[in-house]
Amino acid sequence: MKEQKHSESLFPPRKSPQIWLTGAGGMLGRQLAEELDHRGVPFIGTDMEVDITDEKIVMNFMARHRFNWIINCAAYTAVDKAEDEPDAAMAVNGAAPEILGSAAALRGARVFHISTDYVFNGKSDTPYTEVDIPDAVSVYGRTKLSGESALLKACETAVVVRISWLYGVYGKNFVETMLNLMSEKEEIAVVADQLGAPTYAGLLARNIAAFVGGEALPAGIYHYQDKGRISWYGFAREIQRMGIAYGILTKKCRIMPVTAEEFKTAAKRPAFSVFNTGKIQRELNFSVKGWKENLKQYFEERKDLKK
């Protein structure tokens, strides 16, 4: 675990912690750790030092603490590599959520779990709701889908939130990849026939922290992403526009639209990843903002981090 203020391995927590945050060194995990810290919510953040694929380790860890929530941000997220490493992906994405769910159920705790739009095949042309039938088209998607159902079976009070195209200031992500490529190259190719919406980790973290700190009754599956729909190509164009406005890019690079067929990747991705987010707004009181507004917020947050 890297730099975690309340991490067990670095500092003993101030009060008896109520939240176990797994994957606390990852992109979403770090953002959430920062948000919980900011709100003064006691938590213990862990990464590989508490291997969530090991049932004995998880059970022992749970027995030593009194958590009321496990927020699971740990995952195997290398989507293309997963095609060659299905067992490794299944252990973290498919089996570990069940282990966490069983441990939570045994100890009277709940699980807040993050899943993905990749559980769908992307053949729809209307925003996916929580009652739509998943049909994953990649190993990563299948392992995440299997983790969702195993968790919900093991722990009926669990909350599963599917998100899409996650980006945040603490990880490798599409926005940073684009900014790097745009500053190095004269021309780049970006997929224009996959539609979806990004998920800004900053706002997602605020929503999760507010939810687990509140009354928090509902359970089940929810869809969350920023408002509006866009292709990767459209997203890249806006990243370039803001990159120039924020003085990060000093020149314009040509952005060429290509099809997913032309831009070969090991794993297949859904062509349509737009969610209906009505349920999470109504039942969990999550705030949803437009993707452009969130992207601007990201650039602001990035600017503050670099100071």
Ligand X SMILES: NC(=O)c1ccc[n+]([C@@H]2O[C@H](COP(=O)([O-])OP(=O)(O)OC[C@H]3O[C@@H](n4cnc5c(N)ncnc54)[C@H](OP(=O)(O)O)[C@@H]3O)[C@@H](O)[C@H]2O)c1
> Taking contact as CB under 6 A, which single stretch among the options 152-160, 163-171, 262-270, 282-290 is the one that binds ligand X?
163-171
Site string for ligand X, 100-129 (x = CB under 6 A): --------------x-x-------------
How far apart CA 187 and CA 174 sit, in angstroms, is 16
CB 201 within 8 A of CB 226: no
Shortest CB 249 distance to ligand X, Å: 23
Region class of 216: left (phi > 0), else alpha (psi between -120 and 50), else beta: left
Cα–Cα distance measured from residue 97 to residue 80, given in angstroms and rounded to the nearest whole number = 21
Q: Which residues contact 300 (CB under 8 A, 6 or more apart)?
A: none
Backbone conformation region of residue 257, classed left if phi is above 0, alpha if psi is from -120 to 50, else beta: beta
H or E stretch covering 48: none
Name the segment binding ligand X (CB under 6 A); options: 48-56, 97-105, 227-235, 288-296.
48-56
Name the catalytic one among 76, 118, 140, 224: 140
Q: Which residue is nearest to ligand X (CB)?
A: 26
Contacting residues for 71 by C-beta, under 8 A, at least 6 apart? 19, 20, 21, 22, 32, 43, 111, 112, 208, 212
Residue from 165, 224, 286, 299 in contact with ligand X (CB under 6 A):
165
Residues 287 and 275: their CA atoms lie apart, in Å, by 14
**98 part of the interface to ligand X, by CB under 6 A:** no
Region binding ligand X by CB under 6 A among candidate stretches 74-82, 232-240, 254-262, 293-301: 74-82
Q: For residue 118, indicate whether it is catalytic.
A: no
Is residue 92 at the binding interface for ligand X, with CB under 6 A as the rule?
yes
Interface residue with ligand X, options 36, 52, 203, 239 (CB under 6 A): 52
Q: What does the per-residue mask of binding to ligand X show for 9-38, with x meaning CB under 6 A?
A: -------------xx-xxxxx---------
Instruction: Indicate whether 164 belongs to the interface with ligand X (CB under 6 A).
Output: yes
What residues act catalytically? 140
Contacting positions for ligand X (CB under 6 A)? 22-23, 25-29, 47-48, 51-53, 73-75, 77, 92, 114, 116, 144, 163-166, 171
